[in-house]
Copies of this chain bind each other. A is one copy, B any other.
Amino acid sequence: MDPQSAAARHVAIIAGHLNCPSPSAAAPLALAACLHYDPPELSEKPPAFDLAALRRVLDGHDLAARDWLFRLMEESPLFCPRGSGDRTFVVPDYNQTKEQQRAVTMRRIEYLLHRGVFEGWVTGSGPEAELRKLAFFECIAIYDHSLSIKLGVTYFLWGGAIRFFGTKRHHDKWLKATEDYQVKGCFAMTELGHGTQKYWIGGAANDATHTIIFSQLLINGISQGIHAFVAQIRDADGNVRPNVRIADCGHKTGLNGVDNGRIWFDNLRVPREDLLNSVADVLPDGQYVSSIKDKDKRFAAFMAPLTFGRVNIAATAVYISKVALAIAVRYGLTRRAFSISANGPEVPLLDYPSHQWRLLPLIAKTCAMSSAANYLKRLYVKRTPETNKSIHIYSSSLKATLTWHNMRTLQECRKACGGQGLKTENRIGILIGEYDVQSTFEGDNNVLMQQVSKALLAEYLAAEKMKSPFEGLGLEHMNDPCPIIPADLTSCTLRSIKFQLDLLCLRERDLLGRYASEVSQYQAHGESKKMAVLLSHQLADELARAFTERTILQIFADDEMIQSAGPLKELLGLLRSMYALICVEEDASFLRYGYLSLESAAAARKEVMKLCGELRPDALSVVSSFGIPDAFLSPIAFDWIQANSWASLSNE
């Protein structure tokens, strides 16, 4: 097979396509025999399991509420319903200036407001209400990231600050008004390279009426540290108030529906009563009082409610991955290319082993990460002072891991759809630009993962020093003897939960020990603790990944375990094995540190390939269980031949 003859065969196949129309004067526009659309629901085998049951596992909560909100969006012309073939899709018009995108975002908010979507978002409380809010955020984010961020700033950053940092006088003044979107608050914390100018303040450039300001509190020239104040920045007519200057942060790669601004405050006077005084106050006589003595701890108290952001980002990221996978899988079942046997029929993309290898592991990861996101949400809404540390660590590791996974999934799905993935109406490409920001906002992912490893190191050193067992964060396995990995890995072993958990625990245990040892070696060579940690960044990355993947596997396995025996449980088992083994395949540390022999690693790879073949028939069913309504997918997920026909142009 010399390349010329291979090229010639390739050419022959292309020529075959061009030949297909079999042009005749009588029917010049007849569709080619080689270009036809079979709905995958007809060409694929019927679901082997209950789709609704899988959706309950993956969504975890508030399925009916999600569907209600999806329908609300589908019903309104503000959400740009767009005919395509015989279907309608709701998709923002991104062929607009940022000014237009901002305006329509505001109108969408007003619409959702009047339909009661935000009821209780500021004044409500309790785990059920919080879970429902989180579910709504996931749904809104599927439509448009700007819409979700614009709401998040006002309802959760501003509203949360008033609620948690403020007291009755602030609550009375602002909570209800915020829930009714009369007061539009923003949150002035970030600064330009941590300078004097409040920077990237979402909502500031055009619409916000009020803001939280984080600023030093000086009493008689003595700093009491950072406190949160409230200031009105625009009057009722939308004019910027005196002593405030605001400039637009400009056009961005995504999120152009959010009016990020820079704010300068010049000798702005804030009344004493507008200091948010839940943890510290200034009495009318000017005396400073605080329930928290330590300045830094006071500031940390102000940061705590921000955790909501990370939980929300993690949960949203995995939902966006589902949109992309549902589109790419459906397209991969209907877009055919070349034949495998000589003169055989053309083969759907998803029947190619390499295409399966690209998409099916991402489906398994997305399912596993759904479970993890649900776990994190439940932990968060039931938070107590005792769970703060776990929430901090899990939200950091899952925010980073799930957003990385989402970007990778979007990129892979975009490429799996070829040029069609770049058409804005097909959503995947545009989601890349819209969601890229998730990997650096609310904590840069790399920094978050380094923090996770530092926290694990602290656990390790504490356990060593106190000679006490590990407790919490799933680290109890560190108290057991080191797991033994069998030398000869059968398919059966490779798919057992015990083996998979043992292997991932082994990696985590060893990496934690190595990390501790490398840091201490650097210290022994005279480096400061801080520098030693910075120099050990690779092991820190490897450890944080090991911790996160082991955590996700454990949570996903728990969700599998509680199912009763049957096809759904079997499917979850396949997905769990795929998750575990693709983690092994993709992390060189299993080879680098000898957790697996070369033969065992080869066996794991072969098993992934087998799992691709076994999961392939369920691909459509699994993405159908993601619960994304058809209208939120895209033309290439359905009859894209009809959608691109001349006849359908009148709908556009």
Which residues of A approach B to under 8 Å, CB–CB?
Answer: 1-4, 6-12, 14-15, 17-21, 23, 25, 28-32, 34-35, 94-98, 191-197, 199-200, 214-216, 218, 223, 225-226, 245, 247, 249-256, 262, 264, 266-267, 294-297, 299-300, 303, 335-337, 340-341, 352-354, 357, 389, 392-393, 407, 411, 414-415, 418-419, 421-425, 429-430, 432-433, 436-437, 439-441, 444-446, 450-451, 454-455, 457-458, 461-462, 528-531, 534-535, 537-538, 588, 591-594, 598, 601-602, 605, 640-641, 644-646, 649, 652
Q: With both chains docked as a complex, state the minimum distance between the C-beta of A652 and any C-beta of chain B, in angstroms.
A: 8
Which residues of B sit under 8 angstroms from A640, Cβ to Cβ?
A: 192-193
* Structural contact, B199 and A357, CB atoms closer than 8 A: no
| Residue contacts A-B, CB under 8 angstroms, 27 given | A1-B457, A1-B461, A3-B454, A8-B294, A8-B296, A11-B297, A11-B303, A18-B214, A18-B226, A29-B196, A29-B266, A32-B194, A32-B195, A35-B195, A95-B256, A195-B641, A251-B425, A252-B422, A252-B423, A340-B531, A354-B534, A407-B411, A429-B436, A433-B433, A538-B605, A592-B602, A593-B598
Which residues of B sit under 8 angstroms from A389, Cβ to Cβ?
A: 3-4
Given contacts A17-B191, A253-B433, A411-B436, 18 further A-B contacts (CB under 8 A): A2-B455, A3-B455, A6-B455, A8-B294, A11-B303, A20-B195, A32-B194, A94-B251, A197-B645, A250-B423, A253-B424, A264-B646, A340-B528, A341-B528, A415-B440, A415-B444, A591-B598, A592-B598
* Structural contact, A196 and B226, CB atoms closer than 8 A: no
* Structural contact, B646 and A245, CB atoms closer than 8 A: yes
Q: With both chains docked as a complex, state the minimum distance between the C-beta of A628 and any C-beta of chain B, in angstroms.
A: 20
CA distance A14 to B223 in the complex (A): 15
* Structural contact, B423 and A458, CB atoms closer than 8 A: no
CA distance A407 to B415 in the complex (A): 12
Which residues of B sit under 8 angstroms from A444, Cβ to Cβ?
A: 415, 418
* Structural contact, A251 and B423, CB atoms closer than 8 A: yes
Which residues of B sit under 8 angstroms from A98, Cβ to Cβ?
A: 95
CA distance A499 to B407 in the complex (A): 37
Q: With both chains docked as a complex, state the minimum distance between the C-beta of A160 and any C-beta of chain B, in angstroms.
A: 18
* Structural contact, A299 and B251, CB atoms closer than 8 A: no
CA distance A68 to B415 in the complex (A): 37
Q: With both chains docked as a complex, state the minimum distance between the C-beta of A582 and any C-beta of chain B, in angstroms.
A: 13
* Structural contact, A354 and B436, CB atoms closer than 8 A: no
CA distance A4 to B530 in the complex (A): 16
Q: Given the interface contacts A218-B23, A340-B528, A644-B192, does A441 sit within 8 Å of B419 by beta carbon?
A: yes
CA distance A439 to B17 in the complex (A): 23
* Structural contact, B299 and A14, CB atoms closer than 8 A: yes
* Structural contact, B262 and A644, CB atoms closer than 8 A: yes
* Structural contact, B34 and A216, CB atoms closer than 8 A: no
CA distance A429 to B436 in the complex (A): 9
* Structural contact, A646 and B247, CB atoms closer than 8 A: yes
Which residues of B sit under 8 angstroms from A593, Cβ to Cβ?
A: 598
CA distance A507 to B446 in the complex (A): 31
Q: Which of B28, B300, B424 contacts A11 (CB 8 A)?
A: B300
Closest to A218 in B: B23
* Structural contact, B3 and A458, CB atoms closer than 8 A: yes
Closest to A225 in B: B15
Closest to A430 in B: B253
Q: With both chains docked as a complex, state the minimum distance between the C-beta of A189 and any C-beta of chain B, in angstroms.
A: 9
Q: Given the interface contacts A4-B389, A6-B458, A455-B3, does A439 sit within 8 Å of B415 by beta carbon?
A: yes
Q: With both chains docked as a complex, state the minimum distance between the C-beta of A636 and any C-beta of chain B, in angstroms.
A: 10
Q: Which of B250, B337, B353, B424 contacts A252 (CB 8 A)?
A: B424
* Structural contact, A534 and B31, CB atoms closer than 8 A: no
* Structural contact, B425 and A250, CB atoms closer than 8 A: yes
CA distance A4 to B255 in the complex (A): 33
Which residues of B sit under 8 angstroms from A441, Cβ to Cβ?
A: 419
Q: Which of B95, B245, B411, B430 contacts A97 (CB 8 A)?
A: B95
Which residues of B sit under 8 angstroms from A218, Cβ to Cβ?
A: 23
Which residues of B sit under 8 angstroms from A641, Cβ to Cβ?
A: 192-193, 195
Closest to A266 in B: B28
Closest to A264 in B: B646
Among A95, A267, A531, chain B packs the most CB atoms within 10 A around the CB of A95
CA distance A46 to B480 in the complex (A): 56
CA distance A529 to B529 in the complex (A): 58
- In the complex, the 3 A-B pairs of residues with the closest C-beta atoms, listed nearest first: A35-B195, A253-B429, A17-B194
Closest to A444 in B: B418
Closest to A98 in B: B95
Q: Which of B192, B245, B252, B424 contacts A429 (CB 8 A)?
A: B252
* Structural contact, A296 and B422, CB atoms closer than 8 A: no
CA distance A200 to B420 in the complex (A): 9
